[in-house]
Amino acid sequence: MTSALASQMELAQVVDGGLAHVEQAMRDATDSQVNVLRDASHHILNAGGKRVRPRLMLLTYLTLGGTDLDYIAKPAAAVELMHTASVVHDDINDHGILRRGRPSVNAIWGRTFALLTGDFLFTAVYELMASYGDLNVDLARAATALVEGETLQASAVKDKRFTREIYMEIIALKTAALFRAASAIGAKLAGADPSQVRALSDFGFNVGMAFQIVDDILDLVADEEKLGKTSGKDLMQGRGVAVAMNAGNGSGAADPMDAVKRKLLEGDTLEKAQRQAEFLVERAAETLAMLAPSPPRAALEELAWMVVKRER
């Protein structure tokens, strides 16, 4: 075994250990005295998920020389719980009944408790981060952006103004901002200098943009079983990357659904979207060039490529 391969295997163990800490931190933070909040939170946490946001934070932290995987566990848990909160509320608004291969919280506990469980996950984030000082500025901004992105999306669908520009703004707010915060917090906790924090923030942002584009492609092409969540919601609701790619620049109106679906299946819309996601990851990878090569830097780059090459 080469020493490079050996140190990569060692890194994988470190990352797995760190992610196990994150899982524990998420369970602890949601261990409410109120049964339904604990049960519903643990239901969705136990379903797993890709954990791409905490992985991004962890790898950023390690790449910049961080070593205390216990200290990073809580912010990494916070960033994943923030995402989980938004997913629980999404499934109310979108009537999603399947999530991570399980019935959604909404489907099992009903709308009232799903709303409260999402709120509880938000407050769990707040509690987890309360003693982390100014890092809260990064996460709070991302939290606001996330809600703004979701709202902009619902508004655009309602007003039938789902253009490419609005699509890019939506995914920047609802997804890429939280990826950026994950990287920024990982970098800051590792004691990175401001130029490194900026570079890694850009890295996270671009990976987040790519992640959402691919997510939207998978929503169209993957079957529900593989995807583990209610699919085809985007098209049904007049949104997502395909609707945006077909709407033209600033045309102000999406085609009726049937026409869009026909276009998608015939045209090269999805290939174009996939290429755009890959372009974003290339740009992200370039940002890493300012850092000395190392196993965590390689793993960070690999994570970025995994985001565009995944099938679920």
Tell me which of 44, 92, 214, 242 binds a copy of itself, using CB under 8 A: 92
Verify binding: residue 176, a copy of itself, rule CB under 8 A.
no
Distance of alpha carbon 86 from alpha carbon 177, whole angstroms: 13
Tell me which of 140, 222, 285, 288 binds a copy of itself, using CB under 8 A: 140
Q: DSSP state, 31?
A: -
The amino acid at residue 101 is G
Distance of alpha carbon 210 from alpha carbon 294, whole angstroms: 24
Q: Which is nearer to a copy of itself, 236 or 291 (CB)?
A: 236
Tell me which of 58, 143, 192, 281 binds a copy of itself, using CB under 8 A: 143
Tell me which of 24, 46, 67, 112 binds a copy of itself, using CB under 8 A: 112
**Are 70 and 20 within 8 A, CB to CB?**
no
Q: Which two tokens stand for residue 174?
A: 């609802």
Q: What is the nearest approach in angstroms of a copy of itself to the Cβ of residue 134?
A: 6
Q: What is the nearest approach in angstroms of a copy of itself to the Cβ of residue 55?
A: 24
299: burial class by Cβ within 10 Å (0-12, 13-18, 19+)? buried
Site map for a copy of itself, 29-68, x if CB under 8 A? ---xxxxxx-------------------------------
Verify binding: residue 131, a copy of itself, rule CB under 8 A.
yes
CA distances from 71 to 31, 67, 82, 185, 265 (A): 20, 9, 18, 12, 48
Mapped onto helix, strand or coil, the DSSP state of residue 160 is coil
Verify binding: residue 71, a copy of itself, rule CB under 8 A.
no
Verify binding: residue 165, a copy of itself, rule CB under 8 A.
no
Verify binding: residue 146, a copy of itself, rule CB under 8 A.
yes
Verify binding: residue 154, a copy of itself, rule CB under 8 A.
yes
Rg of the chain over CA atoms, in angstroms? 19
Number of residues located near a copy of itself, criterion CB under 8 A: 44
Verify binding: residue 120, a copy of itself, rule CB under 8 A.
yes
* Cβ atoms < 10 Å from Cβ of 159: 11
Tell me which of 26, 54, 106, 122 binds a copy of itself, using CB under 8 A: 122
Q: Which is nearer to a copy of itself, 83 or 261 (CB)?
A: 83
Tell me which of 22, 45, 124, 172 binds a copy of itself, using CB under 8 A: 124
The amino acid at residue 13 is Q
Q: What residue ranges bind a copy of itself (CB under 8 A)?
A: 32-37, 86, 89, 92-93, 111-113, 115-120, 122-124, 126-127, 129-131, 133-134, 136-137, 139-141, 143-144, 146-148, 150-152, 154-155
